[in-house]
Structure formats: structure tokens, C-alpha cells
């Protein structure tokens, strides 16, 4: 049985200041969320991060069972929009409903 995951998910673009000697500084997208409310008998052991180039496209797994409440995607390109989904994973391997957001890289 899938359980609901209450995530406050927001995508924040990290701004980069181009130094004269560093014209090709890499862009990144930082995802931040809050842990879900604990429920009896369920323990979150990590979070899975998925990404797609299309809102309703195929989402590929980027990171699995990460412990932190943030994730930095450094494999982004300027001028692209990315769609992300974050799920929580419990001790039995069950995955929650995904929280979805998007980020456009300048």
C-alpha cells in the first residue's frame, strides 16, 4: 500500500557569479524538502530523486535512499527545464507518492 508523503518541495537555482578567469562555471539545481510527518510503524530510511526533461515524460532515478533533505543536481545545462520527483523510502522498501517540482536553468 502506498502512503502519502507530505513534502514541502521547492527547486532553487544556485546563482553563479562568473569570474573573468572562470567563464564556464557549472550550473546546478538544489532541491530542498521537509521530512514527512512520522506515522506509527513506518520509518523513513531515505529519499529517491528522479528527473525528466518533460513534465509527463519518463523519470530516471538520479539518487537512491539519500539521507539528507537536500539534493544538488550538477548535471544540468543552461536554457533547459528539468522536472524532479522526490519520494521517501521506508524500511520495507516501500516508496511514497512523489512530490514534483520543476526548475529552469538560466
Domain boundaries, given as residue ranges, for the chain: 10-16+28-34+44-104
For position 24, what pLDDT does the model report? Answer: 58
Residue 57 near residue 85, CB atoms below 8 Å: no
Q: Which residues pair with 51 in a beta bridge?
A: 60, 84
Q: Please give the mean pLDDT across all residues of the chain.
A: 78
Spell out the CATH class of 10-16+28-34+44-104.
Answer: mainly beta
More confident of the two residues 46 and 26: 46
Share of the chain above pLDDT 90, in %: 37
Q: Is the pLDDT of residue 66 over 90?
A: yes
CA distance 31 to 16: 16
Question: pLDDT-derived band of residue 45, with 50, 70 and 90 as boundaries?
Answer: very high
Q: Which grid cell sits at 16?
A: 553563479
Alpha carbon 26 to its chain centroid, in Å, reads 18
- Give the separation between CA 57 and CA 53, rounded to whole angstroms: 7
CB 86 within 8 A of CB 99: yes
Amino acid at each position: 500500500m502506498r502512503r502519502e508523503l507530505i513534502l514541502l518541495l521547492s527547486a532553487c537555482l544556485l546563482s553563479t557569479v562568473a569570474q573573468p578567469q572562470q567563464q564556464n562555471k557549472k550550473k546546478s539545481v538544489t532541491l530542498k524538502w521537509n521530512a514527512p510527518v512520522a506515522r506509527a510503524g513506518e520509518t523513513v530510511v531515505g529519499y529517491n530523486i528522479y528527473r525528466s526533461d518533460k513534465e509527463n515524460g519518463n523519470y530516471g532515478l538520479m539518487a537512491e535512499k539519500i539521507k539528507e533533505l537536500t539534493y544538488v543536481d550538477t548535471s544540468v545545462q543552461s536554457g533547459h527545464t528539468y522536472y524532479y520527483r522526490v519520494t521517501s523510502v521506508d524500511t520495507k522498501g516501500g516508496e511514497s507518492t512523489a512530490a514534483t517540482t520543476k526548475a529552469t536553468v538560466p
